[in-house]
Chains A and B, each alone.
Chain A
Amino acid sequence: MQVVCPGGSGELVAAALIIGLSNGALIALIALGYTLVYGIIELINFSHGDLFMLGTFVALTVLAALGLEGGAAETPWLALIAAILAAMVFCGVLNMLAERIAYRRLRNAPRLAPLISAIGVSFIYINIGLFWRGPSPIPFPDLLPDFEFVRAITGADTLITFTTKDAFIIATAIPLMLGLGWVIKNTTMGKAMRAVAQDREMALQVGIDVDKVISFTFLLGGLLAGAAAVMHGLYNGNTVFTLGFTAGLKAFTAAVLGGIGNVTGAALGGFLLGILGAMTVTCYGGEWENVGVFTLLVVILVFRPTGLLGEETPER
């Protein structure tokens, strides 16, 4: 153990694994937004991380409006659900609007054009965030109970903590991912999404309203980012206007790791990256986290550019 992980014991590694799972679930939710959009219009939506950041601000605003800025004695479940729904709707609708305004006209332009447009949207979001809540980190109210399951059950004094917060993230993220998978596989809109992703012109020919389907895809990606935003705030206890940059890069890495365009891949990539990040922090210290994550990105791009589950698609 000491050889692979000089900083940690088996117990620490187990603890890191749990942190990694929770972080991974958040990364996965954001990564899905990258992969959905890439899958359908081959755009790397650079603004997606910053959309997620704005989601945390919306959640804060909703919680403040409900008088919960300073925390609460008991977990205000209804308020949390309201905050999640508000952030989801906000991010979903904003993402749709961005597509309508900044990307749609460029759909048949050279690939670089929408990419640059997305970078522009990213700057706009960052500056809205800066203008809205200022440059300093903003504390997020501590609203979830901090019940530690492992200690409570084993009675032992252990470093392995699986708390209500972890449970909350897992219990929200997994159903969202399964729900997304179900929508894509079974609904008319989901089938239309796959058809547009595989052959846009043919999708038109069978009668699919391609614009509507692309809008819907941005909506889905935004909904997931909004949910992730609230969970991020509750789990990590703060947010800041630059949050979208690192969160976005990590999520993008996860999407590439899984095979960009592949939905299962993005979820898998998110969890792997979360675990890898937490392990790096535990074993080598926090300063190595991004080194680990981005070394991985480079290694994938060099040795397996299609990602873990990405397929070579000769028709593209």
Chain B
Amino acid sequence: MALLELEKVDAYYGHIQALRGISITVEKGEIVTLIGSNGAGKTTTLRTISGIVRPRAGSVTLDGRDLARVPANRIVSLGIAHSPEGRRIFPRMSVKENLEMGAYARGAVDLTEDFDRVFGLFPRLKERITQVAGTLSGGEQQMLAIGRALMARPTLLLLDEPSMGLAPVLVELVFETIKDINRLGMSILLVEQNALMALTVAKRGYVLQTGSIVLADSAEELAKNEMVRKAYLGEE
């Protein structure tokens, strides 16, 4: 059984249909990427998985458990953590408090190990631990958003455009970190504009176009696919 399974999911914003019967699976330990142009529905897919948007048809299951009736704030306890588009760190909280909020659903537990793990991946955050998060640089905020998601000790990590707006060196770092996190045993569903990079770290991928999956294949095959190369890898 797949860890995460979306089956024929339809999702709407009011009357506007954003997802049209999409089916996606993520197996344990996999990195799966979702690519597609602006407005294709990538963010909506992640928001549907984490319970913010409710599917109007179809089902989302985690480890065989239907998420339809699970309130949005209980999803994280089931093992899904979300590093959302635009980072959305808590701007007037310190770096430390932001990380603590990431572990909120775990209750009052000792977080020493979790802090160590996050600071191991992002030493920069450790230097800035008392800084108000809203004053961090864009790259630091991105690290914090990923770090905060890791604090939940998820089995599945949803990453929405983690490389957006970052300098090339930082993009490298973020993708290295994604591989590191995956090696720690987490499955990852990665949404990226930077399709080339995403396809190098992912095992499989889906191509989303105006709310529908138009291609699903191994990352290797997708990277070779002519339509993908034209549309998303910027080749003529």
- Residues of A in contact with B (beta carbons under 8 Å apart): 188, 191-192, 194-195, 198-199, 201-210, 313, 315
Chain B residues closer than 8 Å to A192, beta-carbon distance: 104
By the criterion CB–CB under 8 Å, are A207 and B77 in contact?
yes
Q: A195-B101, A206-B102, A206-B152 are in contact. Are A201 and B76 (CB under 8 A)?
A: no
Q: A188-B108, A191-B101, A199-B88 are in contact. Are A205 and B82 (CB under 8 A)?
A: yes
A selection of 7 A-B contacts at a CB cut-off of 8 Å is A188-B108, A205-B82, A206-B105, A206-B148, A207-B152, A209-B73, A210-B73
The interface-forming segment of B5-13, B15-23, B91-99, B111-119 is B91-99
By the criterion CB–CB under 8 Å, are B84 and A207 in contact?
no
Q: A194-B90, A207-B104, A315-B91 are in contact. Are A202 and B84 (CB under 8 A)?
A: yes
Chain B residues closer than 8 Å to A199, beta-carbon distance: 88, 90-91
Since A201-B52, A207-B74 are in contact, a sample of 10 more A-B pairs with Cβ atoms closer than 8 Å, ordered by chain A residue number, is A188-B104, A195-B90, A198-B90, A204-B73, A205-B50, A205-B76, A205-B81, A206-B76, A206-B105, A208-B101
By the criterion CB–CB under 8 Å, are A207 and B91 in contact?
no
- Residues of B in contact with A (beta carbons under 8 Å apart): 50-52, 72-77, 81-82, 84, 88, 90-93, 97, 100-102, 104-105, 108, 134, 148, 152
The 3 closest A-B CB pairs, nearest first, are A207-B105, A207-B76, A204-B72
Q: A191-B97, A192-B104, A195-B101 are in contact. Are A205 and B72 (CB under 8 A)?
A: yes
Tell me, in angstroms, the Cα distance from A255 to B152 when the chains sit together: 36
| Cβ 8 A contact of A194, one of B74, B93, B134 | B93
With both chains docked as a complex, state the minimum distance between the C-beta of A50 and any C-beta of chain B, in angstroms. 31
With both chains docked as a complex, state the minimum distance between the C-beta of B162 and any C-beta of chain A, in angstroms. 15
By the criterion CB–CB under 8 Å, are B84 and A205 in contact?
yes
Tell me, in angstroms, the Cα distance from A191 to B81 when the chains sit together: 19
Chain A residues closer than 8 Å to B90, beta-carbon distance: 194-195, 198-199, 202
Chain A residues closer than 8 Å to B91, beta-carbon distance: 198-199, 313, 315
A-B contact count (CB 8 A): 64
Chain A residues closer than 8 Å to B152, beta-carbon distance: 206-207
By the criterion CB–CB under 8 Å, are A198 and B93 in contact?
yes
By the criterion CB–CB under 8 Å, are B97 and A205 in contact?
no
With both chains docked as a complex, state the minimum distance between the C-beta of B90 and any C-beta of chain A, in angstroms. 5
Chain A residues closer than 8 Å to B72, beta-carbon distance: 204-205
| Cβ 8 A contact of B52, one of A204, A207, A208 | A204
Tell me, in angstroms, the Cα distance from A254 to B84 when the chains sit together: 37
By the criterion CB–CB under 8 Å, are A191 and B82 in contact?
no
By the criterion CB–CB under 8 Å, are A206 and B101 in contact?
yes
By the criterion CB–CB under 8 Å, are A198 and B92 in contact?
yes
Chain A residues closer than 8 Å to B93, beta-carbon distance: 191, 194-195, 198
With both chains docked as a complex, state the minimum distance between the C-beta of A306 and any C-beta of chain B, in angstroms. 14
Tell me, in angstroms, the Cα distance from A207 to B82 when the chains sit together: 11
Chain A residues closer than 8 Å to B97, beta-carbon distance: 191
B105 to A, closest residue via Cβ:
A207
Tell me, in angstroms, the Cα distance from A293 to B101 when the chains sit together: 40
Chain B residues closer than 8 Å to A203, beta-carbon distance: 73, 101
B148 to A, closest residue via Cβ:
A206
By the criterion CB–CB under 8 Å, are A208 and B92 in contact?
no
Tell me, in angstroms, the Cα distance from A191 to B102 when the chains sit together: 12
B151 to A, closest residue via Cβ:
A206
With both chains docked as a complex, state the minimum distance between the C-beta of B60 and any C-beta of chain A, in angstroms. 15
Chain B residues closer than 8 Å to A208, beta-carbon distance: 73, 101, 104
With both chains docked as a complex, state the minimum distance between the C-beta of A214 and any C-beta of chain B, in angstroms. 12
Chain A residues closer than 8 Å to B82, beta-carbon distance: 205
Tell me, in angstroms, the Cα distance from A297 to B93 when the chains sit together: 30
By the criterion CB–CB under 8 Å, are A207 and B73 in contact?
yes
Tell me, in angstroms, the Cα distance from A210 to B104 when the chains sit together: 13
Tell me, in angstroms, the Cα distance from A214 to B82 when the chains sit together: 23
Tell me, in angstroms, the Cα distance from A208 to B51 when the chains sit together: 13
With both chains docked as a complex, state the minimum distance between the C-beta of A110 and any C-beta of chain B, in angstroms. 14
Tell me, in angstroms, the Cα distance from A201 to B89 when the chains sit together: 11
With both chains docked as a complex, state the minimum distance between the C-beta of A303 and any C-beta of chain B, in angstroms. 24
B92 to A, closest residue via Cβ:
A198
